[in-house]
Amino acid sequence: MLVFGLGRFGSALADTLDSMDVEVLAVERDPAVVELWSKRIPCVEANGADPRALEQIGAADFAAAVVGVGTSLEASVLITGNLVDVGIPEIWAKATSVEHKRILERIGAHHVVLPESDAGARVAHSVGGRMLDYIEIEDGFTIIKMRPPRETHSFTLDKLDLKGKYGVHVIGVKRAGEEFEYATPETLVGPEDLLVVAGEGELLERFAQRP
């Protein structure tokens, strides 16, 4: 995977991918930053806004790329556009505003993230409720981690029929001191369990508000 920009977002992403044994190549135009990170992750000094630089690093051979440049809207747009022209199958890009996000989507980025906005939304959904984490995947489809409502305690999932009643689907259960386990119809929900639930965002909100 190509990662453009080694600022806070790009460097954290590239470092994490590398620790997960994902083949990653970071691209950064600042030689001082490249020198700083070169001992930790594979990186190269190049300007992704220049199509010739992409050709030199063999960008067309990569299946995915992330544009983590956020300080310059022009550079972000140019890099993304160049990656589209190269034909990268999966392009992720960081946006700093809704307008920036709209531009990146229009020029062909497959996924656009607003890190600060997304983090704020996740915290807002989590504060004061049963939700402990909230991730919107795409087109309203969302996955949450939550504490189970009282009505689910000591019942198996087939008896609860949460899909039929609330339109949500329990993916798995995490019990204290135990590993995550994928849910089955026979899974028994305990009062101290944590549920991983998927579905449409509004339906999950309603379910998470159950006492």
Judgement on whether residues 192 and 132 belong to the same structural domain of the protein: yes
- Does residue 103 share a domain with residue 195? no
Report the predicted TM-score, pTM, of the whole model to 2 decimal places: 0.62
Same-domain status, 143 and 41:
no
Single residue among 71, 98, 115 that ends a domain in this structure:
115
Q: What mean pLDDT comes out for the span 99-103?
A: 91
pLDDT tens column, 187-203: 999 999 999 999 888 88
* CATH number reported for the structural domain that contains residue 70 in this entry: 3.40.50.720
Identify the band that residue 46 occupies on the pLDDT scale cut at 50, 70 and 90. Answer: very high
Instruction: Tell me, yes or no, whether 62 and 13 share the same domain.
Output: yes
Mark whether 101 and 198 lie in a shared domain.
no
Identify whether residues 184 and 138 lie together within a single domain: yes
Which residues are bridge partners to 131 per DSSP?
146
Tokens of 96: 């700093």
- The arithmetic mean of pLDDT across residues 13-34, rounded, is 90
Q: What is the pLDDT of residues 177-190, one digit of tens each?
A: 888 899 999 999 99
Q: Are residues 93 and 141 in the same domain?
A: no
Q: Which of 38-52, 148-162, 178-192, 197-211 has the lowest mean pLDDT?
A: 197-211
Indicate the residue among 57, 88, 115 that finishes a domain: 115
Whether 107 and 136 share a structural domain: no
- What CATH number corresponds to the domain at position 202? 3.30.70.1450
User: If pLDDT is split at 50, 70 and 90, which confidence band does 135 have?
Assistant: confident
Rounded Cα distance, 133 and 116, in Å: 15
pLDDT at 16: 85
The total number of structural domains that make up the chain? 2
Q: Is residue 80 located within the same domain as residue 18?
A: yes
Closest CA to 190 of 132, 148, 133: 148
Considering the chain, what percentage of its residues have pLDDT values greater than 70?
Answer: 90
Which of 71, 86, 115 marks a domain boundary? 115
Residue 126 has pLDDT above 80, yes or no: no
Q: For the stretch 173-196, what's the b/e string if a residue is b when 16 or more beta carbons lie within 10 angstroms of its beta carbon?
A: beeeeeeeeebeeebebeeebbbb
CA–CA distance, 121 with 117 (Å, rounded to integer)? 6
Instruction: For residues 103 and 144, state if they share a domain.
Output: no
Among residues of the chain, what percentage have pLDDT more than 90? 58
Domain of 80, in residue numbers = 2-115
Q: Note whether 64 and 148 are same-domain residues.
A: no
> Are 99 and 133 members of one domain?
no
